[in-house]
Amino acid sequence: MVQCANHSLIEDAELSRLLADLATSDSTFASSLSDDALGQNGRVGILTGALGTAALQASASEAVAHLLRVSVFPRILGLSRDNDYWCRGMQEFAVFKAMYGTALVPTEYEAADFKLGRWVSNWRHRRDELSKEKIQQLDDMGFVWDAEEHKWQQGIRKLEEYRSEHGDLLVPQSHVTSDDFNLGIWVSSRRHGRDKLSKEKIKQLDDMGFVWDVEEHKWQQGIRKLEEYRSEKGDLLVPHRHVTSDDFKFGRWASNRRHGRDKLSKEKIKQLDDMGF
């Protein structure tokens, strides 16, 4: 109910609804209401006190108007924008997942006029500000809270799959999995960024037999094959086209050492000389 200047009462449902919304959203405004103002019907009554004069009434009206304009309305509008921002982000996130089959949204990604990448990054850094309900909504959609850890675990799974299929971890740099994961680049990045990895992650890769230095790995592999060949054939005259039972192109390896002697270190030349190469 609204009390007019002549003290008559009229009902204004829209104003009642607005004031009720304001009161539940702004503690300062709510404290200016009478104790029984917020009833089950959502109506409110402003506790004005004894406003005996027109001047006092005008002063109170100005104070209320200032409170609404400076404090309450901006806060309510902000809440409304936040809610719209959340809903729009959830919609665009669902569309992104349907289109690309992943929840890893690039930071700079924009959908139409909505900066989805920034929206995703925003909630990763502000998770503690979200309600349990919103966190659950994101979890149910497969939201990635830690992108780096997610990519690490994804890379480890792809490495295991590659080893199961190929029998080693010598992933070519250009290798891309059937689901478009750039495993070759992921592996190369781990090799060149070893000093940035934690001890736990280095051990995890070591336990898998990860190859940190491909050239050194191939060298040691060739030396082992030389020893096996000498034990079986009695010499080191490896034919150029010789391939071992595990598909190691041993003849080409030996030929490359011969033609590339000037590129070998003194230590490696001596190691071959000592074997009778």
This prediction's pTM? 0.56
Q: How confident is the model at residue 155 (pLDDT cuts 50, 70, 90)?
A: very high
The percent of residues above 90 in pLDDT, for the chain, comes to: 46
Which pLDDT does position 248 carry in this prediction? 84
pLDDT band, very low/low/confident/very high, at 174 (cuts 50, 70, 90): very high
Contacts of residue 153, defined as CB under 8 A and 6 or more positions apart, other chains included, come to: none
Q: What does the pLDDT read at residue 40?
A: 44
Q: 48: helix, coil or strand? A: coil
Range 110-117 contact pairs with CB under 8 angstroms and sequence separation of 24 or more:
114/88, 114/89, 116/89, 116/92
pLDDT digits (tens, 9 = 90+) for 237-256: 989 898 888 888 888 999 99
Burial letters 83-110, b for 16+ CB under 10 A, else e: eeeeebbbebbeebbeeeeebebeeebe
Cα separation, 102 vs 104, in Å, equals 6
- Is the pLDDT score of 62 beyond 50? yes
What is the overall mean pLDDT for the chain? 80
**165/159 Cα distance (integer angstroms):** 10
Average of pLDDT values for 75-81? 49
The pLDDT, as a whole number, for residue 44 is 46
Residue 111 dihedral angles phi and psi, to the nearest 5°: -115, 110
Residue 142 backbone phi and psi in degrees, to 5: 80, 30
pLDDT given at position 211: 93
Confidence of residue 37 (pLDDT cuts 50, 70, 90): very low
Q: Is the pLDDT of residue 55 over 80?
A: no
DSSP strand pairing (2-3 vs 9-10):
antiparallel
Strand partners, 33: 46
**CA distances (Å), origin 118, targets 123, 138, 148, 176:** 9, 15, 16, 28
Q: What string of H, E and C letters represents the secondary structure of 225-266?
A: HHHHHHHHHCCCCCCCCCCCCCCCCHHHHHHHHHHCHHHCCH
What are the DSSP E strand ranges found in 156-213? none
